[in-house]
Amino acid sequence: MPELPEVETVVRTLAPAIAGRRIESAQFTSKFVTPGDREALAANVAGRTVRGVRRHGKFILIELDEGSTLSVHLGMTGRLLVNSAKTAHTYGVFRLDDQSVLHYDDPRQFGRIEWSPARVARLGPDALGIPLEAFLIALRKRSSRIKPLLLNQSFLAGLGNIYVDEALFRAGIRPLAIASRVSRKRAMDLHAAIQELLTLAIAHGGSSISDYVDADGKKGGFQNLHQVYGREGEPCVRCGAPIRKTVVVQRGTHYCAKCQKS
DNA sequence: TGGAATGTTCGGCT
DNA sequence: AAGCCGAACATTCC
């Protein structure tokens, strides 16, 4: 479910529901989602008050008392839902002091709920708001292919498979182009494309491809505005040529062979 | 039935 | 040493 726009939408819908609330109790029931001592984690969370909810890349950071932070990564199919019905894949339950309940659901269990994990510290700058110059300098230093690089969360945090394909299309760059060899002009276009794309996607509540919903259970609408992702064989919105689909680093990759250059 | 799905990590190799 | 690649994690859906 989750790339930066979806995670941001979850944060925005979650924050008003839980900020200022005291967590009466927590319960975790998946050894994958909550590795290690689940009961200790639950005990640590219980009794604390939610000071705020933030995001870095695809991580949701729930700030608790005394500067402590609970991090939630939604993986592929994770959901944080306020006052939803429990399902067969509910692996986290938070009871709040206003009698509301926050559920963490995740069929594939690729998501993680952890206490200030080290991997948050290893994240690169957030994709939304990275300064142009910093982006240009970082790109010039890398000899790897542009798509894998943009998917690398320690390089840039927040983009995933959908938004990388969409951003590269908007900037006219092939997914396999070498990062350091992208012209300054196209690199500037890519930076602008990423900012515009993420901003627009957030305004539409994110993309609901299969089962993404926000904390209130509402779907996003940005999937209707995708220009290449999920449009294999359909005409390019710019030139009319059919959108192609290949595999790059084990991920489905969509692009227009005519509009995107190496 | 096999393959693909919005993600990340790890081991092995170069 | 850094970077690339494939496999693995668990489940659902077509």
Q: Residue A82: pLDDT above 90?
A: yes
Does A157 share its domain with A248?
yes
- Are A98 and A155 contained in the same domain? no
Q: How many domains does chain A have?
A: 2
Asked if residue A15 and residue A100 are part of one domain, the reply reads yes
Nucleotide closest in space to A232 (CA vs C1')? B4
> What separation, in Å, do the N-terminal and C-terminal C-alpha atoms of chain A show?
30
pLDDT tens-digit series, residues A158-195: 999 999 999 999 999 999 999 999 999 999 999 999 99
- pLDDT > 90 in chain A, percent: 92
Q: Which of the four pLDDT bands, split at 50, 70 and 90, describes residue A238?
A: very high
Q: Give the span between the Cα atoms of A172 and A257, in whole angstroms.
A: 10
- Which nucleotides along chain B are within 7 A of a protein C-beta? 4-9
Strand B–CB A223 distance below 7 A = no
Asked whether residue A86's C-beta has any atom of DNA/RNA strand C within 7 A, the reply is no
Do A108 and A215 belong together in one domain?
no
Tens-place pLDDT, residues A192-210? 999 999 999 999 999 998 7
Let me know if residue A70 belongs to a domain: yes
| pLDDT of A225 over the 70 cut | yes
Residue A57 and residue A159 in one domain = no
**Active-site residues of A: which are they?**
2-3, 58, 251
In this predicted structure, the answer to whether residue A101 has a pLDDT above a threshold of 80 is yes
Residue A155 lies in a domain: yes
Place A138 in a pLDDT band, splitting at 50, 70 and 90.
very high
A227 touches strand B (CB under 7 A): no
Can you give the pLDDT at residue A121?
86
* Residue A262 lies inside a defined structural domain of this protein: no
What confidence score (pLDDT) does residue A134 get? Answer: 93
Residue where a domain stops, chosen among A100, A121, A142: A121
> Are residues A221 and A244 part of one domain?
yes
Indicate whether A127 belongs to any domain.
no
Q: Is the minimum distance from the CB of A13 to strand B below 7 Å?
A: no
Which of A97, A121, A145 is at the close of a domain?
A: A121
pLDDT, one tens digit per residue, over A43-55 is 999 999 999 999 9
Tell me which amino acid residue A59 is.
F
State how far the Cα of A87 lies from the Cα of A103, in Å rounded to an integer.
9
Q: Does A97 lie in the same domain as A23?
A: yes
| Residue-range definition of the domain harbouring residue A33 | 4-121
Q: What is the pLDDT of residue A66?
A: 85
The answer to whether position A126 is within a domain reads: no
pLDDT at A247: 93
A224 belongs to a structural domain: yes
Does A161 lie in the same domain as A229?
yes
Residue with CA nearest B4 C1'? A252
Q: Are residues A160 and A223 in the same domain?
A: yes
- Specify if A216 maps to a domain: yes
pTM of the model: 0.96
CATH of the domain at A190: 1.10.8.50
Tell me what percent of the residues of chain A surpass a pLDDT of 70.
Answer: 100
Mean pLDDT (whole number) for A52-80: 95
Model confidence at A211: pLDDT above 90: no
- Shared-domain flag, residues A13 and A99: yes
DSSP string, A19-86: TT-BEEEEEE--TTTS-S-HHHHHHHHTT-B--EEEEETTEEEEE-GGG-EEEEE-TTT-EEEESPPP
Is it the case that residue A1 has pLDDT exceeding 70?
no
The residue out of A83, A98, A121 marking a domain boundary is: A121
Task: Indicate if A90 and A165 belong to the same structural domain.
Answer: no
pLDDT of residue A262: 83
Is A71 part of any domain? yes
**Nearest residue by alpha-carbon distance to C1' of C10:** A108
Asked if strand C comes closer than 7 Å to A224 Cβ, the answer is no
